[in-house]
């Protein structure tokens, strides 16, 4: 672990319903509360289930400090995020919607398979949005496994200024969970 703590990286999360059980629905909000409490970091948690709500949520998130991590908590498939209303947004559509408002932010796709797509498409997405780093799951992942990985990932992001060093630490210490979830980083390195 690094000897000096870097500036805190607030987390802005946009989450869609995971299923139709609205009375007892799953949510990543408790994970964000744990990260906020244990690291004294701020977070925003917005829900959206349609393209219009997603556009509104992205416009509502402040692009200034302390927020530096954008967390997409959705179902997903190769190169897309899936919304609760049955619609999908491709990475090019998402980049167009976002513009460069979140330039230099880390984007984490807590979604199944979204970043399991052609590296040229991921490069275009990064250039179009100005993302400093993309993380996400390359395969279908169990909800609890991904929640455990997300909690670990966000916790360690607060301990490192250099995200490559953080990634090396995760690979060395959480290899099994990373393999089970298919967590990957783009660009590699």
Task: Tell whether the model's pLDDT for residue 7 goes beyond 80.
Answer: no
pLDDT digits (tens, 9 = 90+) for 45-63: 999 999 999 999 999 999 8
Task: Tell whether the model's pLDDT for residue 39 goes beyond 70.
Answer: yes
Task: Tell whether the model's pLDDT for residue 72 goes beyond 90.
Answer: yes
Assigned CATH topology for domain 10-16+26-186: Rossmann fold (3.40.50)
66 prior amide bond cis, ω within 30:
yes
**What is the pLDDT, as a whole number, of residue 36?**
94
Is the pTM higher than 0.85? The answer reads yes
pLDDT digits (tens, 9 = 90+) for 75-101: 999 999 999 999 999 999 999 999 999
CA distance 58 to 95: 11
Sequence-distant (≥ 6) Cβ neighbours of residue 75 within 8 angstroms: 16, 18, 81, 82, 111, 112
Spell out the domain ranges in the chain: 10-16+26-186
């Amino acid at each position: 672990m690094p000897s000096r703590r870097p500036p805190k990286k607030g987390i802005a999360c946009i989450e869609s319903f995971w299923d139709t059980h609205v009375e007892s629905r799953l949510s990543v909000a408790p994970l964000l509360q744990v990260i906020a409490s244990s690291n004294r970091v701020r977070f925003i948690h917005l829900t959206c289930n349609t393209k219009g709500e997603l556009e509104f949520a992205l416009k509502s998130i402040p692009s200034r400090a302390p927020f530096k991590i954008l967390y997409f908590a959705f179902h997903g498939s190769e190169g897309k995020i899936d919304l609760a209303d049955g619609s999908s947004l491709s990475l090019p559509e998402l980049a167009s919607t976002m513009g460069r408002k979140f330039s230099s932010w880390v984007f984490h796709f807590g979604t199944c398979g979204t970043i399991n797509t052609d590296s040229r498409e991921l490069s275009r997405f990064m250039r179009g949005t100005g993302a400093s780093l993309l993380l996400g799951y390359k395969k279908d992942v169990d909800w609890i496994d991904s929640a455990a990985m997300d909690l670990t990932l966000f916790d360690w992001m607060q301990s490192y200024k250099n995200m490559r060093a953080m990634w090396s630490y995760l690979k060395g210490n959480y290899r099994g969970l990373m393999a089970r979830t298919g967590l990957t980083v783009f660009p590699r390195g």
